[in-house]
Amino acid sequence: MMGKYVFGVDVGGTTVKLGLFDIEGNLLDKWEIPTRKENGGELILADTAESIKAKIAEKDILKKDVVGVGLGAPGPIDGEGTVYGAVNLGWGTFSIRDTLAELLELPVKAGNDANVAALGEMWKGGGQGCKNLIAVTLGTGVGGGIIVNGEILTGAVGAGGEIGHMHVEDNETERCGCGNTGCLEEYASATGIVRLAARALHSCEEPSVLRDVPEEKLSAKKVFDAVKDGDGLAVKIAEQFGEYLGKGLGVVASIINPEIIVIGGGVSKAGKILFEYISPYFYKTVFRGSSNVKFALATLGNDAGIYGAARLVLE
């Protein structure tokens, strides 16, 4: 590796996060710019390029010392850096790699944001030292990223690792955002946990501190806080969550045979107590050859994307 620096970019619906790293993976600087989504998001990469150029100038970095720029964005992105539509950004189908490389005259790589975050957690987060890893982000949705032998499992058209949309329940009537019914995301995301809680509260009379919470204020945090206080109904909700996620991850692990499963996102702020509900169902159902898989919490938080994006360039 000839250069000294690498940039990692994580494009979100509201802000673009940027990081300047040395090639050992030390974060030297990080900052954000707004995501300008007008006109099909055509300004996003131009703004990103300007911001990187300004940082290069500000830091007196020689361009020849920059190895390249990695970028993660929400949408299917193939191994060549072509995005096949990113609804949240207004993007259609085009080559992120070629567009940004032309603007910056630097090597560029791009990948799906959840996949790139998984790479970040492997490099410098909860999965350090592993080469085969499953990362799950339990937020508004359930994001998934899979690393196989040190590299992102991208898939044929960039749709690899979509753990949140694996079918886990036949008897579901409400639709997932993806259009199907019974996706893991409908039970294991923050939104899904609230849904399970609302159903539990309506389907029985059991007393619970959650009954004191106005329904629109129910949250995954409130459910797990109640679990920690020993609330019986909250524990039942956590059991349901754990059964769906534990069995789902058991299937994924039987197929991928990872060393570790890293759990992040807002729901993971509940901490290791999550594993108490996930693990029993996981180890009961996973294929024996993968039964030595470990669980860990993600450690990079919102920075996983910029770390992973930077790592993309160093592969």
Q: Is 132 in the site for a second copy (CB under 8 A)?
A: yes
- Burial-class residue 251 by CB neighbours within 10 Å (0-12, 13-18, 19+): middle
Q: Is 93 in the site for a second copy (CB under 8 A)?
A: no
Applying the rule CB under 8 A, the residues between 66 and 85 that interact with a second copy are: 76, 79
**Distance of CA 302 to CAs 32, 73, 139, 256, 307, Å?**
12, 13, 11, 25, 10
Count of residues near a second copy by CB under 8 A:
47
As measured in angstroms, the least distance from the Cβ of 111 to a second copy is 13
222 within 8 A of 231, measured Cβ to Cβ: no
The encoded tokens of residue 250 equal 């058991």
Query: Interacting stretch for a second copy, rule CB under 8 A, among 57-65, 144-152, 219-227, 299-307?
Result: 144-152
Q: Is 249 in the site for a second copy (CB under 8 A)?
A: no
Q: Is 173 in the site for a second copy (CB under 8 A)?
A: no
Q: Closest CB to a second copy among 47 and 259?
A: 259
As measured in angstroms, the least distance from the Cβ of 154 to a second copy is 7
As measured in angstroms, the least distance from the Cβ of 46 to a second copy is 27
Q: Is 247 in the site for a second copy (CB under 8 A)?
A: yes
Round to whole Å and give the CA distance between 53 and 7: 11
The DSSP H or E segment spanning 17 is strand 15-22
Round to whole Å and give the CA distance between 280 and 87: 37
Contacting residue, 92, 255, 271, 273, with a second copy by CB under 8 A:
255
Q: Distance between alpha carbon 238 and the CA centroid of its chain, in Å?
A: 21
